[in-house]
Structure 1
Amino acid sequence: MSVLPVMTQRSSAAANKASEAATSNSATSATNGSSAEDIMNNFMQLLVAQMQNQDPTNPMDNNQLTTQLAQFNTAAGVQQLNGTVNSVGMLVTSMQQMNAAEWVGRQVLVEGDTTVSTAQGGNNQFALSVDQDASDVTVTLTDDAGNAYTGKLKDVKAGVHEYTLDDLSDFEPSDPRTVSDTNFTVSYSATNPDGSTPDIVSLKKSKVDSVSFTQTGAVLQLGNDETATLANVYLIE
């Protein structure tokens, strides 16, 4: 009568060793394998080994099997999702590079200080970006000697805008356009009647000479040895 328990103990011990070996081998394979197919194969090998070597007096619990399957599906699903996200990311990067290459030879507005001139044939254009509607924008023109003149822009809507010196009004202390052959740097400020302060970004116009591609994205090569990323571009003309 004592034979059966001894055989059962030996069978159980053998099953445990086989299961441990299968688990170790599967864990090693899972570490080496990285694809969803590798994970699936390793899991199935482990499952078959466990079923073949299970103790007849203590078979695998169905609930335990269901839990393992659910965990496997979750892990495989996450890996598949990660693969999909990586593929989409590569596609987006490729499309951005293709689009950026088409910008060569075009004018772009990027963040930077602007200089205007009253000289004949000089640049009298300036641009800005405002994050909210502004009832009045004060434009300050400062010449090389430090003399400052202010002008007004009325009812500026949120967004990117381009202007010329002729669009300014209400100059103080005098009209700088009457000062010939003078260069001015341009700056901006605004405060609405309700007390809000619009955020204004000074923009300058540059021509795209070429485009280079780095690990962080496309870089535009502009005139005067300047560069800009796609995130710095406010408008393409």
Structure 2
Amino acid sequence: MNVNNRTTGQHLTPYAAEAVPQSNSVAGKENMFMRLMLEQMTHQDPSNPTDSNQMANQFAQMAQTESLTTVAKLLNANNMLMDNLQTLSTANLVGKQVMVQSDSVDLKNQPIEARITLKNPASVVTLHLKDKQGTDHTISLGKLPVGQNGFSLDPQKNGLPAGKYTLSIVTDTGEKSPTIELAGTVNTVRISPADGQILLDINGLGDVPYDRITQFGPAHGKPAHSF
């Protein structure tokens, strides 16, 4: 018996392989798989029949792979949509005041509003401002309760020259790195060309990442303390 144009086991005939159309769509791939399976069953060796369970498993794996690929594409599209919506929403912040978590400030001649959050009440709280030359300027904030404590700082009144300073808070309780927030007005919103991050140019703070904003709008009420 001549079997030159047939294969044994699970191999297709050359003509069958050439007849199968190629497609990148899910429906096309499923159709291709079904035709391959039918060709394989038609030309199988009776003494070594195709394992139907194996074929079913292969079909299930293909369907699962296609489903996961579709889900991944949908998630990626959703993330891009959310990023675009966030960018559009931040554009509305131009000219608005926000509170930003920061450990640095660029002082001018105008007073600034700030807020610190303490986990424990402290009898002695000191604000440290270190300039570019390394000079440490200290301002006593006095006794402060637990929680948020707002205050305003007048650079001229405290003899602080205009320039950039790093900020830190020291308490008599030894609390580590209390949170410092500064108020400022958003001048512009831009997207970093390097990593696509949304940056807000804020008075006295420079470019600030969007995720460092802690409050939209000015601090509530008047500062409890003025220095």
RMSD: 4.0
Number of the residue aligned with 2:213: 233
**Superposition map of 1:1-237 within 5 A:** 6-7=1-2, 11-13=6-8, 16-18=11-13, 22=17, 29=22, 33=24, 36-110=26-100, 111-114=102-105, 122-123=110-111, 125-128=113-116, 130=117, 133-136=119-122, 138-141=125-128, 148-157=138-147, 162-164=150-152, 180=157, 182-183=159-160, 187-190=168-171, 192=173, 197-214=175-192, 216-223=196-203, 226-237=206-217
Contact preservation (8 Å) 1:116, 1:126: no
Question: What TM-score, normalized to structure 2?
Answer: 0.67
Q: State how far apart, in whole Å, the 1-side matches of 2:129 and 2:211 are.
A: 29
Displaced runs of 4+ in structure 1, greater than 6 A?
Answer: none
SS for the counterpart of 1:94 is helix
Out of 104-113 and 148-157, give the one that drifted further. 148-157
- Which structure has the larger Rg? 1
Q: State how far apart, in whole Å, the 2-side matches of 1:102 and 1:63 are.
A: 59
Contact preservation (8 Å) 2:190, 2:200: yes
Number of the residue aligned with 2:224: none
**AA aligned opposite 2:121:** S
Contact preservation (8 Å) 1:209, 1:222: yes
Q: State how far apart, in whole Å, the 2-side matches of 1:153 and 1:42 are.
A: 78
SS for the counterpart of 2:189 is strand
Distance 1:222 1:79, change over 3 A: same
Q: Identify the structure with the greater helix proportion.
A: 1
**AA aligned opposite 2:188:** S
Q: State how far apart, in whole Å, the 1-side matches of 2:68 and 2:45 are.
A: 33
Point out where structure 1 has 5 or more consecutive residues left out of the alignment: 1-5, 166-176
Q: State how far apart, in whole Å, the 2-side matches of 1:220 and 1:155 are.
A: 32
Structure 1 residue 87: Cα displacement = 1.9
Structure 1 residue 210: Cα displacement = 2.0
Contact preservation (8 Å) 1:133, 1:198: no
Structure 1 residue 115: Cα displacement = 7.1
Contact preservation (8 Å) 1:139, 1:153: no
**AA aligned opposite 1:82:** A
Distance 1:52 1:19, change over 3 A: farther
> How many residues align structurally?
204
Q: State how far apart, in whole Å, the 2-side matches of 1:154 and 1:224 are.
A: 25
Structure 1 residue 38: Cα displacement = 5.0
Structure 1 residue 22: Cα displacement = 3.2
SS for the counterpart of 1:58 is coil
Out of 214-223 and 67-76, give the one that drifted further. 214-223
Contact preservation (8 Å) 2:106, 2:205: no
